[in-house]
Amino acid sequence: MTAIQPIPTQLERAREYVYNTRAQATYRAYRVHWRVFEDWCASHGVPALPAQPETVAAFLVADAERHKPATLTARLAAIAWRHRIAKLPNPCDALEVRELLRGIRRTKGTRPTRKRAATLDIIRRMARAAGDDLRGKLYRALLLVGFWGAFRRSELAALRVENIAFTDYGARILVARSKTDQEGEGQWKQLERLADQELCPIAALREWLGASGITSGPAFRSISLVSGKLNDKPISGRHVARIVKLLAERIGESAHEFSGHSLRAGFVTSALAKGANETDVMEQTGHKTARMLVVYSRQQGRGARRAIRAVAGPDA
């Protein structure tokens, strides 16, 4: 009996499902890292596909002079991915490559460079510096929603009006998909209506939606620098980061110290500094373990200081 062959549309759908096993941003990063490796191989007259373990090792040594271990690890992931989809042996699995990466990590260290947290006092100053025109309303809404909702920049960029439910106390916002929720289970974030209008995310969000006339689709959209008109497409995650940096400059801070991630880190840092329960903070951020809050908080050492005071006594 002849086996039934899948029809073309089924094969196409199968490829689509396989492609969605990882985030699109991951594939974009893979392509960038692979091009770097491919260009290096071309300049040295060695094949990139298939690559030999000694080629990958030589590439790591050369790249280690300019980049951190985290970047090297990402490069290896891209090389391994390219070989897997070509159904070729993975040179990154070779013992000499793995041991070389371990040696580079031990030599250079793996501590990441973290951006500064935009804590509540900084957020207030940024909100004041946003401006009152349409672009200023966008900046303020992004800033306050991003901070109070502990959003990632990609989540802000992907936010749709249909996923915002205004309530008596503020709003509930559905994050349909995020970095740690690639299968789309979704997470609800809460925003409170605050008496302090300068810091109220609900007031800022309603003001932006009303002024922009957005009633459906992407909630945050860029504004043309030339015409001043609102674009139909959603704002990008990089644009969110540029807005945070711009507002940091406006209040006299170094833009280099801030990023889109500063909003999320700022909420965690501010909440823990005020004595908020870790479980409550995790409910807003979506973290699964309290250990990750330590990574996000820029107020590390609170527990150590409490321990010292406990030993020294109240009169020390």
Over 70: is that where the pLDDT of 279 sits? yes
Same-domain status, 279 and 259: yes
Q: Which run of H or E residues covers position 225? A: none
Task: Please state the rounded mean pLDDT for residues 129-143.
Answer: 96
**314 is a domain residue:** no
**What pLDDT, on the 0 to 100 scale, is given for residue 123?**
96
Same-domain status, 241 and 151: yes
CA pair distance 236, 155, nearest whole angstrom? 10
- pTM score: 0.68
The percent of residues above 70 in pLDDT, for the chain, comes to: 80
Same-domain status, 98 and 168: no
Over 90: is that where the pLDDT of 110 sits? no
Same-domain status, 168 and 36: no
Lowest average pLDDT, out of 1-5, 8-12, 57-61, goes to 1-5
Q: Which of 272-277's residues contact partners 24+ apart within 8 Å by CB, and which partners?
A: 272/297, 272/299, 272/302, 273/119, 273/299, 273/302
Q: Which of 102, 179, 238, 256 is catalytic?
A: 179
**237 is a domain residue:** yes
pLDDT grade for 131, boundaries at 50, 70 and 90: very high
Q: Classify burial at 306, counting beta carbons within 10 Å of its beta carbon; exposed 0-12, middle 13-18, buried 19 or more.
A: exposed
Same-domain status, 80 and 173: no
**203 is a domain residue:** yes
Same-domain status, 165 and 19: no
pLDDT grade for 11, boundaries at 50, 70 and 90: low
**25 is a domain residue:** yes
Domain termination residue (choose one: 108, 134, 162)? 108
Same-domain status, 104 and 126: no
Over 60: is that where the pLDDT of 18 sits? no
Q: Which of 33, 116, 153, 261 is catalytic?
A: 261
CATH of the domain at 36: 1.10.150.130
287 tagged catalytic: yes
**312 is a domain residue:** no
- Could you give the dihedral angle defined by the CA atoms of residues 142, 148, 152 and 153, in that order, rounded to the nearest 10 degrees? 10
179 tagged catalytic: yes
**50 is a domain residue:** yes
Which residues have a Cβ under 8 Å from the Cβ of 192 and sit 6 or more positions away? 148, 169, 170, 201, 202
Same-domain status, 67 and 22: yes
Range of the domain at 133: 120-296
Same-domain status, 124 and 263: yes
28 tagged catalytic: no
Domain termination residue (choose one: 57, 86, 108)? 108
Over 90: is that where the pLDDT of 35 sits? yes
pLDDT grade for 315, boundaries at 50, 70 and 90: low
**1 is a domain residue:** no
Q: Which two tokens stand for residue 133?
A: 């025109």
* Average pLDDT taken over every residue of the chain: 85
Task: Please state the rounded mean pLDDT for residues 35-54.
Answer: 96
264 tagged catalytic: yes
The DSSP output letter for 163 is G
Same-domain status, 193 and 234: yes
CATH of the domain at 287: 1.10.443.10
296 tagged catalytic: yes
**What pLDDT, on the 0 to 100 scale, is given for residue 181?**
46
pLDDT grade for 309, boundaries at 50, 70 and 90: low
How many domains are there within the chain? 2
In the chain, what is the greatest distance between 2 CA atoms, to the nearest angstrom?
89
Same-domain status, 183 and 222: yes
67 tagged catalytic: no
Over 50: is that where the pLDDT of 308 sits? no
Q: Which of 82, 137, 152, 245 is catalytic?
A: 152
CA pair distance 151, 180, nearest whole angstrom? 12
CA pair distance 176, 186, nearest whole angstrom? 4
Task: Please state the rounded mean pLDDT for residues 222-248.
Answer: 91
Domain termination residue (choose one: 108, 132, 164)? 108
Over 90: is that where the pLDDT of 136 sits? yes
- Ranked by mean pLDDT, the top range of 11-15, 159-163, 270-274 is 159-163
